Chains A and B, each alone.
Chain A
Amino acid sequence: DIQMTQSPSSLSASVGDRVTITCRASQSISTYLNWYQQKPGKAPKVLIYAASNLQSGVPSRFSGSVSGTDFTLTISSLQPEDFATYYCQQNYNTPWTFGQGTRVEIK
Chain B
Amino acid sequence: EVQLVESGGGLVQPGGSLRLSCEASGFTFSNYEMNWVRQAPGKGLEWVSYISRTGNSIYYADSVKGRFTISRDNTKNSLFLQMNSLRVEDTAVYYCARGKGSDWGQGVLVTVSS
B-binding residues in A (CB < 8 A): 32, 34, 36, 42-46, 49, 55, 87, 89, 91, 94-101
Residue among A34, A96, A98 making CB contact with B35, cutoff 8 Å: A96
Which of under 10, 10 to 19, 20 to 34, or 35 or more describes the interface residues of B? 10 to 19
Q: When A95-B61, A96-B37 are in contact, do A101 and B100 touch as well, CB less than 8 Å?
A: no
Residue among A32, A43, A89, A91 making CB contact with B95, cutoff 8 Å: A43
Q: When A34-B100, A43-B95 are in contact, do A100 and B59 touch as well, CB less than 8 Å?
A: no
Task: With CB as the reference atom, state the residue of chain B lying closest to A45.
Answer: B104
A-binding residues in B (CB < 8 A): 35, 37, 44-47, 50, 59, 61, 95, 100-107
What are 5 A-B pairs at a CB distance below 8 A? A36-B101, A49-B100, A49-B101, A87-B44, A97-B47
Asked whether, in the complex, the Cβ of A96 is within 8 Å of the Cβ of B102, the reply is no
Task: With CB as the reference atom, state the residue of chain A lying closest to B57.
Answer: A94
Q: When A87-B44, A98-B45 are in contact, do A43 and B100 touch as well, CB less than 8 Å?
A: no
Task: With CB as the reference atom, state the residue of chain A lying closest to B102.
Answer: A46
